[in-house]
Amino acid sequence: MTSLGSEKIAQAVSCLRDEDIDMWLILSTEGSDPCLPLIVEEYVSGSSAYVITGDGKKVAIVSPIDGAGIKASGVFDEVITFSPGLDETLKALIFELNPGRIALNYSRTDGLCDGLTLGKYYWLMDLLGPDFDDRYVSSENFLKQLRSIKTPEEIRRTREAVRLTQEIYSSVFPRLKPGLSEKQVSDLFVDEMIARRVVSGGDKSLSGPMVLKERMTHRLPGDAVIEPGDFLVMDYSIDYRGYASDIARTAYFLKPGETKAPAPMQKAFDTAVQAVTKALDAMKPGVTGVEVDAVARRHIVDAGFPEIRHATGHQIGRKVHDGGVMLGPRWARYKGASDGKLEAGMLFAVEPTVLQDDGPCVIVEENVVVTDDGMELMSKRQMELILVPPPGK
């Protein structure tokens, strides 16, 4: 079976050829570059360098303590262990290959493509000298592609993360009841994570989801107690072998005598679900993130709710927010990411939300993969509001 690292390196070589780049050079210290897990799944404790060329050469230069693990991965044609330092080994290799264009991981707009530290950059300049100064180019264009277009193994892992996330939701929902605090609801999720030996897709630890009955911001669950008549938003991610889901669900806690949510709550929920449908229907290769966002955003505003305060959707993968194309408006903070076009193999979390300062809030977030002619749901959609019975029922 082809390893994930081999799949991604084959992708990278194709990208290098398409952009007429001779070499991609990754410099990392203890895994400092966020792109490194795409090609190296083993933990690397020391300084290291990775050379991938347009003609398919794959070389890793690592410390002696890391050499055995990198060799065992089978990803690289050659694994060189340096002693005493990285400097001369890397310099000799680059001078031998003599690349005309060298891609380095720096970017003004995308932090996931900006893994080369300023110190490492200056170190490289000093190491190779002024004859190489005009050979350096940014890897941003192809690195975004490499991160965004998932291989079959990446999609398989993300599907499993989605499945586990929904399995845990299904275990938690019957245990919801008035009187629990946000923190206590979060702990229910953590218990299920422990039982399955999984961690959060966000910080890769046993941390629970966002659980919010009020103050709708990205924050930790608090001590606020959930009472009949409250809504509850849960936004949750699971990591499976390095790949993250991102699914949100909304519940309503019935008051005594209620058999359904009040009209304002139901309208907010229905509007959010319909906006998700609008976004999903618009998703296919070739459309821009702006176009997908616009149909969902317009639907929410036309229904009488405030404009969405964030993007309709974002990519998922190694990170919960995995860079690349955004399903969002042309706001300055998205730095042009919304003008990117969807391509088959991209994975998205889609979450056009109803957020109100005074009134019910709803987040329904689904995970999808873009296909050749549209999109395919990875998550099972929430189409009905989760209703939690009052005490005594």
Provide the token pair at 214.
């009020």
Instruction: For 70-93, give the DSSP string.
Output: HHHHT--SEEEE-SS-HHHHHHHH
Query: How many CA atoms lie within 13 Å of 245's alpha carbon, on the beta-carbon side?
Result: 33
Which helix or strand (DSSP H or E) is residue 200 part of? strand 199-200
CB 317 within 8 A of CB 150: yes
Phi-psi region of 169 (alpha: psi -120 to 50; beta: other; left: phi over 0): alpha
Instruction: For 228-241, give the DSSP string.
Output: TT-EEEEEE-EEET
pLDDT digit string, tens, across residues 168-225: 999 999 999 999 999 999 999 999 999 999 999 999 999 999 999 987 777 889 999 9
- DSSP letter at 332 equals G
Question: Cα separation of 356 and 354, whole Å?
Answer: 7
Q: Residue 157: pLDDT band by 50, 70, 90 thresholds?
A: very high
pLDDT digit string, tens, across residues 31-81: 899 999 999 988 898 899 999 999 999 999 999 999 999 999 999 999 999
Question: Cα separation of 50 and 90, whole Å?
Answer: 9
pLDDT digit string, tens, across residues 271-324: 999 999 999 999 999 999 999 999 999 999 999 999 999 999 999 999 999 999
Question: Cα separation of 338 and 361, whole Å?
Answer: 25
4-147 domain in CATH 3.40.350.10? yes
Burial class of residue 387, CB neighbours in 10 A (0-12, 13-18, 19+) = middle
* Amino acid (one-letter) located at 383: M
CA neighbor of 156 nearest in space, from 2, 15, 294: 2
Distance between terminal CA atoms of the chain? 53
CA neighbor of 292 nearest in space, from 239, 348, 372, 361: 348
Provide the token pair at 176.
């919801």
Q: Where are the domains of the chain?
A: 4-147, 149-388
149-388 domain in CATH 3.90.230.10? yes
- DSSP letter at 345 equals T
CB 366 within 8 A of CB 381: yes
- DSSP letter at 381 equals P
- pLDDT score of 263 more than 80: yes
Pairing of strands 366-370, 347-350: antiparallel
pLDDT digit string, tens, across residues 323-373: 999 999 999 999 999 999 999 999 999 999 999 999 999 999 999 999 999
Buried residues in 144-183 as b, exposed as e (16+ CB within 10 A): bbbbbbbbebbbebbbbbbbbbbebbeebeeebebebbbe
